[in-house]
Structure 1
């Protein structure tokens, strides 16, 4: 299997992270790259370079206002006397229809939904190249590859059209799905990250040309809290084109596979001819975020079940944080997917 990565994705090195009111080390560290790359290579993946597709495919998903914010905000933030090293919001509007401030502080609050997406000097460049790597992977699928893996970092599925959040800035899977759709394909997105892909859902919520399906820890007591509930089915033309399958905290392999069966049945019903997988490995029993309890062998079963759809498949890395099992979990998934 071909895999895609660009070394510029290492430049994002976030420091700030707050959970339940306590500050700690941000778990979305560049060191994740080394564990994931080793895991992919152990499964037989061979890496190729990302190609630059420019801004057009990004602007097909994200507003130009938001893209300009991501590119320029850190430099503007540094000009504020006494500002922190990273852009961290401290005020938020109560709705998206309010006025748009000129202030860097105000724009940070408008475009960053939480404090888990600090923006530093290398953030824009890393996010840009994660998206370009994903587009390169999508092109591999369009060129006839049956599957491709993208080591996308920073991840993307919590990013809305004009909002960063949850370690995410550009929504890589949404960008890839739209790229595939514009090439004449009928894409479905399957998100198996432990967290609901709220940004992906929000981007396609009123559309019927991309199916979105997410299996995740129940958001009643788990991030992202406000999205990911079973009753969220889409709206307008998109009603019935969004499926959420929330699972109780601590769910293991067997119950997860039952939910996956429902997800795959919905993808078949949609008639997808290409699949984009938001491949979160943070559902692991040993992941630091402790949402679900999937074993290393269980990830192999997930990969094999998804491969059973027999669709051209783009595998895009989302979560999965540093633990002794991170690389092994990716190896297990990829081997399960290719049947080795």
Structure 2
């Protein structure tokens, strides 16, 4: 399986993350990639390939143009306003406030376009996000060109980014853009399977009213886990998208047995949907020792999960998302890839 990866991910490394009322080194940090790269080499995967430049054409079909412009210019505008630190939202629009007008001041723009203040923008964030998207697009091009599957080792991740907001460490929704590229290439129906511990609220938001892309997610109950306000079982899609959104919600302490049952349910729905291509949001934070998860999966479980996904038999792009037990992230991620290949 070919892997696409850009060293430009290092351009995004915020100094801190607001967690538990204090600033800590972000859970989402460059070292995550080093453990995955090392494991890929250990297991004999082909050398990673650098992508070309990102193409925003498919992104513009599903993302808000004003949002893209904001991401590109936020750092420069923040600094021009005399802000000394990194770009961090001080608040967000609340209930019964106006959402139909975008503030002129950069501080207000940040609050408008952000949905989670743990996520900071730095000088290099936009370039890093573009490089992450480029890796996903290169993987899609490989699969569209005849490869059975390809792995996009993306950082920063993407599945929490909606059509017009960033947060949850995510800026551009890589998986959603890949799904749209498959549609642009002629696939009548595409499925996005999200196995990250946290609900892919951004991907759901982008495709919620569309019937040509199925979104299926296995995640921690949003009553107990981020993103808290999306990912409930009764969110099944709207309009043309009714029935094309599946949320498998699991509670604290969930082990592999119930998790695998949910995965099989998602796989059955993907088959019934008639998908012609598959995008996997590959988060491994369902691992038992992940610092921001409450599932109890062990490393061998990811091998079996990969086999189950591989048996779907569709052209597949696997897109890296979360996973914050850094010393085990390489083993868990590559286990999914090897299981997929075994199938």
For residues 65-103 of structure 1, give each alpha carbon's deviation from its aligned partner in whole angstroms, at most 9, with x where no partner exists. 11111011111111233x242101113223674211111
The answer to whether the aligner puts 1:327 opposite 2:330 as a matched pair is: yes
Q: Is the 8 A contact 1:219 1:227 kept in 2?
A: yes
d(CA) in 1 for partners of 2:318, 2:43 = 14
Distance 1:148 1:44, change over 3 A: farther
d(CA) in 2 for partners of 1:276, 1:96 = 35
CA RMSD in angstroms comes to: 1.4
d(CA) in 2 for partners of 1:84, 1:180 = 42
Shift of 1:264: 0.2
Helix, strand or coil: the match of 1:18? Answer: strand
User: Which of 266, 273, 277 is the aligned partner of 1:274?
Assistant: 277
Alignment of 1:246-261 (within 5 A): 246-261=249-264
Helix, strand or coil: the match of 2:327? Answer: coil
Helix, strand or coil: the match of 1:60? Answer: helix
- Counterpart of 1:202 in structure 2 is 205
- Counterpart of 2:319 in structure 1 is 316
The answer to whether the aligner puts 1:187 opposite 2:190 as a matched pair is: yes
Alignment of 1:130-145 (within 5 A): 130-145=132-147
For residues 213-241 of structure 1, give each alpha carbon's deviation from its aligned partner in whole angstroms, at most 9, with x where no partner exists. 00011111110000011000011111100
- Counterpart of 1:89 in structure 2 is 89
Shift of 1:321: 1.4
The answer to whether the aligner puts 1:2 opposite 2:2 as a matched pair is: yes
For residues 161-185 of structure 1, give each alpha carbon's deviation from its aligned partner in whole angstroms, at most 9, with x where no partner exists. 1100100000000000001111011
Q: Is the 8 A contact 1:42 1:331 kept in 2?
A: no
d(CA) in 1 for partners of 2:29, 2:239 = 39
d(CA) in 2 for partners of 1:96, 1:38 = 48
- Counterpart of 1:150 in structure 2 is 152
Q: Is the 8 A contact 1:117 1:169 kept in 2?
A: no
Q: Is the 8 A contact 2:310 2:341 kept in 1?
A: yes
- Counterpart of 2:126 in structure 1 is 124
TM-score by length of 2: 0.96
Count of residue pairs the alignment pairs up: 339
Which aligned segments of 4 or more residues in structure 1 are displaced greater than 4 angstroms?
Answer: none
Shift of 1:322: 4.0
d(CA) in 2 for partners of 1:116, 1:309 = 36
Alignment of 1:62-73 (within 5 A): 62-73=63-74
Q: Is the 8 A contact 2:236 2:245 kept in 1?
A: yes
TM-score by length of 1: 0.96
d(CA) in 2 for partners of 1:96, 1:272 = 39
Structure 2 unmatched runs, 5+: none
Distance 1:3 1:21, change over 3 A: same
Structure 1 unmatched runs, 5+: none
